[in-house]
Amino acid sequence: MNLMEKLEFKFPAQAGKTSPITALCGVVGSGNLEILVRTGSDADVCEVSIKTSARGFGEIWQAVLTDFAEHNPAGGTRIFINDMGATPAVVSLRLGQALTEYLGVAQ
């Protein structure tokens, strides 16, 4: 039995630099989440795959990620999220940290 919900999103986003690294932020623990950022296939798109233990919050994920893609140079990234019921505040904070780490070592 798989209790995890899987969600997929694609957002237009301002193209950022491409980075050679894969950035990893956060931990998989109750109320927390793990975010992995690596280079995506389309420079103007931020593509996100989510596995979450908290089912039924697709609309809120959509809103949080839309806001993130609007306000950050997240184009050209492929993002994977393993969530254990993090609140939107934690998600936004981690997304910011993960993208910074990813872009921080860009050429």
Q: How far is the CB of 89 from other proteins (least distance, A)?
A: 4
Chosen residue from 12, 27, 29, 100 binding other proteins by CB under 8 A: 100
Q: How far is the CB of 13 from other proteins (least distance, A)?
A: 18
73 forms part of the interface with other proteins (CB under 8 A): no
Contacts with 18 (C-beta within 8 Å, 6 or more apart), sequence order:
39, 43, 76, 106, 107
DSSP designation for 56 = T
Number of residues counted as binding other proteins (CB under 8 A): 17
Task: Work out whether strand 77-83 and strand 45-52 pair parallel, antiparallel, or are unpaired.
Answer: parallel
In three-state secondary structure terms, 47 is strand
Based on the shown chain and the rule CB under 8 A, indicate whether residue 36 belongs to the binding site for other proteins.
no
Interface with other proteins (CB under 8 A), residue from 1, 2, 8, 89: 89
96 binds other proteins (CB under 8 A): yes
Burial class (CB in 10 A: 0-12, 13-18, 19+), 104: exposed
Three-state DSSP class for 98?
Answer: helix
Residues 1-30 that bind other proteins (CB under 8 A): none
Q: Which residues bind other proteins (CB under 8 A)?
A: 31, 54, 57, 60, 63-64, 67, 85, 87-90, 92-93, 96-97, 100
